[in-house]
Amino acid sequence: MGDKKAAGFGRSDFHYDEQTDCYTCPGGKQLLRSRRNYSKPRKGIPKDGFIRYRAALHDCSACSLKAQCCPNTKVRKILRSQHENVRDVARAVSKTTAYQQTRKERKKVEMLFAHMKRILKMDRLRLRGLSGARDEFLLTATAQNLRRMAKCLGTGPPKIPETVPI
Ligand code: SF4
């Protein structure tokens, strides 16, 4: 939210500094939560959970990058979710090789569930109750394992000859 990728610069082009709680734009200017000098800095979160950071009008109006940054507004604004720190951690984790590996492993399991649902028609259960669901899943998993076993062994179902000799 608040990402104006279509305008040229997206939020990822702005650098957030946790110490000073402000963004630095590609033009090297600061986007602040507030430009007023309160005796007590205001750290409240708006009701929608997004904190607004704004560039100064005199910075943007004199900036050569304005056409790429905020062609339709006087100043550039960035919205930052109150949960952005957590999102940053998740983004950093998603770039690690360990995560890439777990994603590959997870895909193997999820593909089996997708296969169960779409090919083996497990999108709804026929039997009722927990024991019914368990039995149905066990049967489907068995069928799935038999298929995989036949594939691994290189043996498919027996071939039926096209013309039956009389
Ligand atoms: S238009 Fe404003 S926010 Fe955008 S790069 Fe220039 S000074 Fe920074």
Q: Token digits for 40?
A: 């007590």
For 44-70, b/e burial (b = at least 16 CB within 10 A) is: eeeeeebbebbbeeebbeebebbeebb
Domain ranges of the chain: 5-90, 97-153
Encode pLDDT of 37-85 as tens digits: 777 767 788 889 999 999 999 999 999 999 999 999 999 999 999 999 9
Kindly state the average pLDDT of the residues 156-165: 57
Q: Could you tell me if the CB of 55 is within 6 A of ligand 1?
A: yes
pLDDT value at 97 more than 70:
yes
Distance 44 CA to ligand 1 centre (A): 25
Kindly report the average pLDDT of the chain as a whole number. Answer: 87
Burial class, 76, CB count within 10 angstroms (exposed 0-12 / middle 13-18 / buried 19+): buried
Encode pLDDT of 6-34 as tens digits: 558 998 899 999 899 999 999 999 999 88
Q: For a pocket test of ligand 1, which of 30, 32, 59, 61 has the largest count of ligand atoms closer than 8 A to its C-beta?
A: 59
Q: Could you tell me if the CB of 63 is within 6 A of ligand 1?
A: yes
Q: Could you tell me if the CB of 60 is within 6 A of ligand 1?
A: yes
pLDDT value at 154 more than 90:
no
Q: Could you tell me if the CB of 66 is within 6 A of ligand 1?
A: yes
Q: Could you tell me if the CB of 78 is within 6 A of ligand 1?
A: no
Encode pLDDT of 113-146 as tens digits: 999 999 888 888 888 899 999 999 999 999 999 9
Within 10-128, where are the H helices? 57-61, 66-69, 84-94, 97-118
